[in-house]
Amino acid sequence: MDYDLIIVGMGPVGAMAANLAGLWGLQTLALDKAESVYENPRAMGFDHEVMRAFANIGLAEAILPYVMPYRASHYLTSQSQLIKRIDAAKPPHALGWAPNYVFSQPPVERELRANIASFDQVTVELGSEVLAIETQGELAQVQVRDRHGELRTVSAGYVLACDGGSSPIRSSLNLRMEDLVFDEPWLVVDVLLKEGAGESLPSTNVQYCEVERPSTYVVGPGRHRRWEFMINPSETPADIARPESIKQLISRWLDADDYDIWRASTYRFHALILEQWRSERIFFLGDAAHMTPPFLAQGMCQGIRDALGLIWKLALVRRGLAGPRLLDTYQQERAPHVRQTTEAAKEFGLIICERDPLKAAERDAHLLRNMNGTPGSTIRQSLIPGLKNGLIDDRAPAGELFPQPKVINREGVTGLLDSFTGQSLRLVIAADVDAGPLLKQVRQRLEGSQLPFKVVRLSAEWPTPSDDADHYHELDGILAQWMNERDCKVVIVRPDHYVFGGARTCEGALALLERCLEALNG
């Protein structure tokens, strides 16, 4: 066998998967037909879960110049009446990062690819096309044609198909996509404002719920702005994408001399989910497994969650630290999560895309009543579910995302908790628990195990150099409040930061650990 893992496709999902594979020490070959990053933006938003992943692979600081926190979204009628507002949660932030971001994809993607070089176990070959994949027992044989036209066959334990919405690998296997019945034509235009231009533009994101032409305006980082326009039945994609048509559409907001068109593309926004996410030793991630309308900015997020949820499981199975049935939990966990998020995005799309004047008037009245009857905004992250199935316990807070507080350790170093624990299994113990007897039994149970298992003991006081290295004092109270609200004293957290389960007592914690180990072993 040549590799543990072969990744096909080096968009943001494949590149993140390659970084995570390096983080977990998997011998990996990453392939892409293109020889460079696509120079035009496609995705424009991601959330705090994805930013946490960027931080986990050591990339958060490098991408900060190309990202900024996502602004609130205002939904306006044809009469410019506000009927809905979606906002982000206010500080302190549960995961340690702003809940949502906008970003310019090409420079972020370049940084994501460049970061792979920090992992010796990962080899990247650009300009290389996968021609065929054949499974033979415990191996996948992959035929590759490199940039020079030379053919060779390489083998791996597993293949990740991150090869996009048209996925040649998925097509070759005749795998079906379930259609959630959303199919709307849109024009997406990205512009770069010229110096001094754009002062009159909206300061926040706007959904123009207008029957004449639904449209969207998004404030990007720096001088980057995006408009999305629904294509009318009387128009063709080719006609509306012409520069003169684009300038006419944007003239409502800007003169043509105020900006340069970065890119303009027409799309059909779909809601599709793969029925079978795994075929023998091939796993499907990102757009190859699902496509969602863009109205919650969750498309790229979902693909990166795929990688976050799968790579650590592949690593444990490859090392013999977990049973192969653990890999069955990939689709069990991800498919329901994707379905619920896609349905939410679809519902927002149906709100925005309504073209019937009578139905639009009913929509406006309904949303206005809801907004007036419920103070405050809809919080964007409240629409994103946790895990309902798979490798989780059967009681709360299982399946929730684990918070990430800012902490200080015994050496006086402060930082977000992940920076001390990394992506590992974690046993987190509240400050008011006598942890000594519990940890003695935990260490006896794990003696000789190579599982990446770390202990986090929260301390009511600042740790001192004489304390054990697993003592941390929380600086913002986020985690203590979270545990109190869920009435748990001990929590087991998965490497992808989802909670396996919680317990109120030391006895319950030991039982929880046993259930976790049993689940890992299948």
The Cα 312–Cα 326 span in angstroms is 10
Which has the closest alpha carbon to 17: 277, 305, 291, 278?
305
Task: Give the model's pLDDT for residue 268.
Answer: 87
Ranges of H-type helices in 195-328: 237-240, 243-250, 299-318
Who contacts 254 (Cβ-Cβ below 8 Å, separation ≥6)?
A: 191, 193, 197, 198, 201
pLDDT tens digits, one per residue of 271-306:
999 999 999 999 999 999 999 998 888 999 999 999
Average pLDDT over residues 354-366: 95
Reported confidence tier of residue 90, pLDDT bands at 50, 70, 90 = confident
Q: State the pLDDT at residue 138.
A: 92
Relative to beta strand 151-161, strand 378-379 is: unpaired
Do residues 274 and 289 lie in contact, with contact meaning Cβ atoms separated by under 8 Å? yes
pLDDT in tens, 7-26: 999 999 999 999 999 999 99
* pLDDT attached to residue 1: 78
Distance between CA atoms of residues 497 and 98, nearest Å: 17
Domain 3-68+95-177+272-337: CATH superfamily, name plus number? FAD/NAD(P)-binding domain (3.50.50.60)
Tell me, what's the pLDDT at 345? Answer: 92
The rounded mean pLDDT for the chain is 95
> What distances in angstroms separate CA 466 from CA 138, 408, 411, 471, one per listed residue?
49, 14, 10, 10
* CB neighbour list of residue 214: distance below 8 Å, 6 or more residues apart: 207, 208, 229, 230, 352, 353, 354, 355
Superfamily holding 406-521: Glutaredoxin (3.40.30.10)
Output 183 or 390, whichever has higher pLDDT: 390
How far from the centroid of its chain's Cα atoms is residue 412's Cα?
32
Segment (H or E) for 129 = strand 129-136
pLDDT number for residue 332: 98
SS3 385: coil
pLDDT at 184: 86
Alpha helices in 32-176 (DSSP H): 48-56, 60-63, 105-115, 168-172
* CA–CA gap between residue 329 and residue 317 (Å, rounded): 12
**Predicted local confidence at residue 183, as pLDDT:** 85
Q: How far is CA 140 from CA 90, 182, 351, 399, in A?
A: 47, 35, 45, 32
For the stretch 151-199, pLDDT in tens is 999 999 999 999 999 999 999 999 999 999 888 899 999 999 999 999 9
Domain residue ranges in the chain: 3-68+95-177+272-337, 406-521
pLDDT at 102: 96
Instruction: Give the tens place of pLDDT for each residue, 299-356.
Output: 999 999 999 999 999 999 999 999 999 999 999 999 999 999 999 999 999 999 999 9
| pTM score, whole prediction | 0.96
CA dist 144 and 151 (Å) reads 6
User: How large is the angle between the packed helices 299-318 and 329-352, nearest 10 degrees?
Assistant: 180
pLDDT in tens, 196-228: 999 999 999 999 999 999 999 999 999 999 999
